[in-house]
Structure 1
Amino acid sequence: MFTAGKEHSVRQRKKNVGHSSQNENSGSRTVQGRKKIPKEVDSAPSDQPFFMQLLKPTFALFLCMLVGAFYGWYIYQLHDNYLWFSHITELEREISFRTECGLYYSYFKQLIHSPSLIRGIYDLTVDNSTENGHSINILHRFNIYQEVLLAIIYRGFEGWNFASPAIFYSKVVFSVGGLGASALCLIAYFVSNSILAILVCGMFCLTNLSDMTRAHFVVNLREHFALPMFWLQILFVCVYLKSVTYDAVSRVGKNCIRFCIFWFTFLFMLMWQFNQFAMLFQAMAIYALSVLKLITLEKAVLLFFIHLGALVAVFVLQFFPKMLLSSILVTFNLSALFSLYLFRRSTHSGGVVAGFCKLATQILITIITMVLFTFLLKRLLGVESDDHIFKFLLGKFGFSNVRDFESRVYLCHDAFSFLSNDFFLHTSKTFLFPLYLTMFSGCLFVIGKDLLTQWCDLASLSNNKYRQFFTTDYFERRADLAFLVLQSVIIGLVSLMVTRISYMWSPLMAVLATALLCCEDIWKTLPGFRNRRQYIQMFQLSVIVAILGYNSVLFYNRFQEEMKDLREFWDPDTVNLMEWINNTTAPYASFAGSMQLMAGVKCCTSRPITNHPHFENKQLRDRTKDIYQIYARRSAEDVYNILKKYNTNYIILEDSICRAKRSGCTIPELIDLENGHAPDSRHLWMSMGLVQSKERRFCTAIENMDESFARYFRDINLANMLYV
């Protein structure tokens, strides 16, 4: 998804308060010669009354809800402080929905203003205004079922005197964000079995807010609806993988857990166009657990089928998008199932060399099978819509064509850049990253030690001095922890290359850092725990209190500053532009311009547009390259013919794009490269294949409006708008 766009101005509110600057930005397995290790005493059924058994989890759930409610209110308040969202006009609120957010909000707005909900949904399936001259099914192309649901709620309770549509919409987003924080706290509580874990995890989420979410300044990105569903799905996957908990549940309870995994997987995949990559990371972690024999084959197979089943359900509900069927998630899951079945009787015994060769062979077969499946499915289905993703990945490592517009749009975007050092500085200041680093390093060491133990069959040693160290029981009991660690490592590696993925990594870091602090099961693994149990528990509690207290002070100081920093939305030029379009142009008049501005035009005026920021479609990407010839070195006649091909009535040129300082990543430079022209910053590029164009740049040459331009265009004298 392309989300670049100009940021709206804000100004300090005229209030008699101090102002300060604000920055935006397992199943059991038997090894020959090994005695079965008894389960921990604390996993045995409790002899407490049923009421007392429910008291702790009920209180934990209530506390998680409180943390989530405060988290949701906090991001709402930050958003309101930054834009004064509750007091500006409805038009200004709509303009504040940046880039693709404005596009998504326009469909919610369309549904609530439609004569009937059924008519509104039907109009979405035969939409002619999002890509003027081309009828598309919005429910097929975009992930907007959340907007449909919110429109149903808004229309159903319209008599309740709800706030304005924009305020209702944004508050729901912040509430869903609070649900996500509650889910993270529940995961931390489940893996730690400690009430303190809820407070610690909640505090990590608050003190590292800028690395947890962008909802307070980019409200309705798809991930802000989807990720809370992902955290809830992970919670139930953890319950499913933790044998001590899952095995103690009744058959009905087990079916409920499986259904919850499917349901939240389905919701997550329905709400985000990048769902296939997030679920791929999870599938890889599940595959690793199965290959390492930390969970049974049956559990892994069930989870893979849940992934595929949820994807099929989304495929049907989104009117059969072929890109879903050919996604890398499908091919990996099929390859993993094939590989696990092929090696179902394989063991890790036989020595280090033999064990390593078996493991490497299994992984290699999975990769080769996945590549073959991907190639075959794309050929059979004729899918090209996700080609830009593979070009982007190649470009990350310098293998793509530097002149390719599609990949460079992503490579030049901050959200898709390499993770900056600031991330590690922020998270280290709150001790989040050091604690996570300790947790995942220790877990990977134990997993590696267990694997080495199985390869060398060291668990069968008769020498009691080494027997305790070489047992491989811990992560068979705590496959939930291994799952979280492996998934976080995979997501973390991708986050290093793509900053946007870090918003999935930071919450998992918070959960695992909390588990390290609060999980007594982890502290029991320390040498001499049984002899020094009381002292170690006191030390653990002291560390928890110290970390919690330190982060509380950090958060309180920042909270006070943020509540004093009151700003106001300020973008009079865009407000005047939207008002002029609403008051002057015909309802059927179509507009062309930058992707981010066109989303605003669609949101604020409901006028047809020729292009938009949703970049996950081949035809749309080709259309955008054509429209962006208004910033290229092309003649007036060439640009006119292109615009008329898309039945465009007006074009809006932006000085912030046309006259942007050349850095190698501006739109004029990217279009020049795509056209084979040497850009203004040609010293930054290899000259191979580039020619010096004799044409003037359209967006600057048209300012003179000489005869060659006046023949095709008429200047409106408003914000560089031209009538075609």
Structure 2
Amino acid sequence: MAAKKRHQNQNANANSESSNATRKKYSPKRAENKGGHGNVGDALYKFFIATVAITVGYMHRNHVYGMFERDKHFSHLSNLERELSFRTEMGLYFSYFKTIIEAPTFLKGLNEIMYDNITEYPDTINVLKRFNLYPEVVLGIGYRWYDTIMTAQNKPTKMCWTVNRGEGMTPVQSCEGLGEPSYFYVEAVFFLNGLMMTVFFLFGVYLSGNIYGGILTVATFFYNHGECTRVQWTPPLRESFAYPFLIIEMFLVTHTLRVKMPSFLHSIGISIAVVTFMLQWQFAQFALMTQAVAVFCTYVLGFIGSHKVKVILSGLLVGLLTSYVFLFGNEMLLTSFFLSSLVTIFLIVALEPLLNLLKFRVFIWAAQGILLLLGIVGIKVLIAKILNVTDDEHIGDILRSKFSDFNNFHTMLYTCAPEFDFLAAETYLKLLKTILLPTVGVIIIVFSIKLIKMETSQLNPPTTEEDIVLDGEHRSKPYADYVYHMFQLAAFTLMAVIIMRLKLFWTPHLCLMTSLLASRKLFGWIGSKEKHYAVVTVLIACMTIEGIQNIMHQWSIMGEYSNFPLEEMVEWIKVQTPKKAVFAGPMPTMATIKLCTGRPIVNHPHYEDAGLRARTMKVYSMFSKKPLSEVKQNLIDLKVDFVILENSWCVRKQKEGCGMSEIWDIEDKINRHETVQACTKLRDKPEPYFSRVFRNDVYDVLKISKW
């Protein structure tokens, strides 16, 4: 017994010495990745990294603000013109920020948006639940604090002057400074996107293991800026607020994949990032669903064990459920593919011992894949049926219309818009010119070859600390984080190809993947560090040729916002109509009416609600070939007093089959034989069903006759 114990101790000591030898052997390698710095040098290196990160964030903030200012000459617009420049959903979101800051108290303003009967008159809705308005709530608090503090200190918060707008237009007062609500709002957005670039740089450094990875990530983002983001043109959109938090969340997931034994603290960090992302954008659930699947695929290939999957998915699930609470029980979160994917993956991971009985990896993969597809779709449909929720049915209809001849009124409104079309060939060409696509292609090929070599040499005993594979739920392989990002890139690519608007996920992720070109683990075969980084420098120089041209093109965009017909109509409405007069019309214009006049509206651009889609269809009957009597009855059913007819909507046609009359012919087969649209009749002779009370070159305001 004693001999056996001594033998075990000797084995333990031998294992310990072997482990120590391994650590000693490869510690210089880790130091090499950091540049061979000692404690002081390492601190200076980290300080340098932090300084560069803050600098690129500041540069990006100035970059996007500069383009925004040059495009609109925002600093010289009147308050009304600035509000008019926030078209479509942007105006709707900004109107709630305006409500919060103009209310007597913050709680009063919050109550107004939680019990709102202006946006979908006469219904009362909680817009904080429906529209992901937490950015406006937070900024509303910030603005009120700022204004209170500066007023108490008797410090000016803005500077005002009179702007002469030229012949035929009245002079306006223009104010600049954080005391101006629209200025405070957009400055917050640009600051947040500056912070995003700081995190993006650090992400590139972390992923690649050196500063060159961060430089590659940032440089390619700037060089392809027009394909990566549109925050410089549309600050109030949800993506402008939410996307920076997705970058942080993916950073945390990447870190969790790297550590050997992630704990519950990692789940908490991920869940906090998920909440900050989901509370700001209704589309967040789809991006996070692809992440859950990407992590699952990394697990299926054996690069991580069930423990890491559970840690990451627990963070995602807690974040989802917390968001559900903060969004006052938004049912779309429970019926989302995101929740069904999380539940399905948890079940598959729990079935791991049973699936392993299949022995052959191909059979296991097939079983896991089938269970994943059936579970995601089946659980989503089941929950939707139980809760009787149809708000997200249009998403399935849109995807169905992409790959078949299926179409209806609502899918056509989406797919006829350029941003919901397939990814344009022009995008691929631009990314080829900046060498972004070829660079990522090379990285994928090199990484795939490395994985194949690693998989074929699995029978050899591990020789380095990186090669150690643990069995069971804690198993781990090198490059698990890289594998995850490859799957994540594949998901984002598919999303972008199907819906062009979603390239805001794809192109930035391409930029992040370029950081791997600086990874010594992946491209150390090029040679010494000096030779490797020289190749990276040459590549950046080649990218710069086209990249600088792209930046100069964006800087050259000059304009000055002016929309006098819309301004004229808004001013007329404010003076000539009762404050409780109810309006209907094209969705983008309705957002402006609510923001600038405060009048109740019955439809708006936030189209993700089944009831709202039905309302809009009734309002848009004025662009159909229905008789005016039916158009009038539809509007009376919605308790509308005035309808706004935007003449261009009657004749506009973005592409073949996308004229409003053509869209209506799909739904209204009874009247498709008619040759004259209702909007043409309303424009030429609205009587006796309507009476024209305002007209300019673009807009007609029609009052509904009350007989």
**Alignment TM-score, normalising by the size of structure 1:** 0.84
In 2 relative to 1, CA 570–564 (structure 1 residues): closer, same or farther, beyond 3 Å? same
Q: Give the Cα–Cα distance (whole angstroms) in 2 for the partners of residues 306 and 397 of structure 1.
A: 34
Partner of 1:215: 231
Decide whether the 8 Å contact of 1:242 with 1:480 is kept in 2.
yes
What SS is found at the alignment partner of 1:652? strand
Structure 1 segments, 4+ long, off by >6 Å, are 45-48, 471-475
CA positional deviation for 1:514 = 2.1
Q: Is the aligned partner of 1:704 residue 2:705? A: no
Partner of 1:489: 490
- Which one of 158, 180, 193 corresponds to residue 196 of structure 2? 180
Decide whether the 8 Å contact of 1:211 with 1:506 is kept in 2.
yes
In 2 relative to 1, CA 242–580 (structure 1 residues): closer, same or farther, beyond 3 Å? same
In 2 relative to 1, CA 117–513 (structure 1 residues): closer, same or farther, beyond 3 Å? same
CA positional deviation for 1:613 = 0.8
CA positional deviation for 1:488 = 0.8
Partner of 2:601: 609
Partner of 2:566: 574
Name the amino acid aligned to 2:625.
Answer: R
CA positional deviation for 1:557 = 4.7
Q: Give the Cα–Cα distance (whole angstroms) in 2 for the partners of residues 437 and 385 of structure 1.
A: 39
- Which one of 70, 87, 90 corresponds to residue 98 of structure 1? 87
What SS is found at the alignment partner of 1:271? coil
Decide whether the 8 Å contact of 2:258 with 2:481 is kept in 1.
yes
Partner of 2:212: 196
- Which one of 409, 425, 438 corresponds to residue 413 of structure 2? 409
Name the amino acid aligned to 2:684.
Answer: N
Q: Give the Cα–Cα distance (whole angstroms) in 2 for the partners of residues 370 and 566 of structure 1.
A: 48
Decide whether the 8 Å contact of 2:84 with 2:592 is kept in 1.
yes
Partner of 1:437: 441
- Which one of 51, 58, 63 corresponds to residue 69 of structure 1? 58
Partner of 2:298: 289
CA positional deviation for 1:445 = 4.2
RMSD: 2.7
In 2 relative to 1, CA 397–555 (structure 1 residues): closer, same or farther, beyond 3 Å? closer
Partner of 2:427: 423
User: 1:10-31 CA distances to partner (integer Å, 9 max, x unpaired)?
Assistant: xxxxxxxxxxxxxxxxxxxxxx
Partner of 1:300: 309
How many residue pairs are counted as aligned between the two chains? Answer: 645
Q: Is the aligned partner of 1:584 residue 2:583? A: no
CA positional deviation for 1:653 = 0.7
Partner of 1:138: 127
Q: Give the Cα–Cα distance (whole angstroms) in 2 for the partners of residues 48 and 567 of structure 1.
A: 50
Structure 2: give runs of 5+ residues left out of the alignment: 1-17, 151-156, 158-177, 470-474
- Which one of 685, 695, 698 corresponds to residue 717 of structure 1? 695
Name the amino acid aligned to 1:631.
Answer: F
Decide whether the 8 Å contact of 2:584 with 2:603 is kept in 1.
yes
Q: Is the aligned partner of 1:693 residue 2:674? A: yes
Partner of 1:672: 665
Partner of 2:398: 392
What SS is found at the alignment partner of 2:643? strand
CA positional deviation for 1:43 = 6.5
Name the amino acid aligned to 1:408.
Answer: M
CA positional deviation for 1:409 = 1.6
Partner of 1:322: 331
Name the amino acid aligned to 1:269.
Answer: M
Decide whether the 8 Å contact of 1:186 with 1:235 is kept in 2.
no
Q: Give the Cα–Cα distance (whole angstroms) in 1 for the partners of residues 558 and 81 of structure 2.
A: 17
Decide whether the 8 Å contact of 1:184 with 1:507 is kept in 2.
no
Partner of 2:15: none
In 2 relative to 1, CA 558–444 (structure 1 residues): closer, same or farther, beyond 3 Å? closer
- Which one of 278, 284, 296 corresponds to residue 287 of structure 2? 278
- Which one of 308, 311, 316 corresponds to residue 320 of structure 2? 311
Q: Give the Cα–Cα distance (whole angstroms) in 2 for the partners of residues 357 and 48 of structure 1.
A: 48
CA positional deviation for 1:446 = 3.9
Comparing 472-481 with 295-304, greater Cα deviation is found at 472-481
Decide whether the 8 Å contact of 1:184 with 1:231 is kept in 2.
yes
Partner of 1:510: 511
CA positional deviation for 1:625 = 0.4
Name the amino acid aligned to 1:82.
Answer: D
Q: Give the Cα–Cα distance (whole angstroms) in 1 for the partners of residues 519 and 188 of structure 2.
A: 33
Name the amino acid aligned to 1:459.
Answer: Q
In 2 relative to 1, CA 140–564 (structure 1 residues): closer, same or farther, beyond 3 Å? closer
What SS is found at the alignment partner of 2:702? strand
CA positional deviation for 1:199 = 2.2
Partner of 2:7: none
What SS is found at the alignment partner of 1:219? coil
In 2 relative to 1, CA 703–261 (structure 1 residues): closer, same or farther, beyond 3 Å? closer
CA positional deviation for 1:498 = 1.1
Structure 1: give runs of 5+ residues left out of the alignment: 1-34, 679-690
CA positional deviation for 1:664 = 1.0
Q: Give the Cα–Cα distance (whole angstroms) in 2 for the partners of residues 216 and 666 of structure 1.
A: 30
User: 1:266-321 CA distances to partner (integer Å, 9 max, x unpaired)?
Assistant: 10111110111100110011101111111121110111111111111111111101
Instruction: Report 1 or 2 for greater relative contact order, CA contacts < 8 Å, sequence distance ≥ 6.
Output: 1
Comparing 414-423 with 157-166, greater Cα deviation is found at 157-166
What SS is found at the alignment partner of 1:721? strand
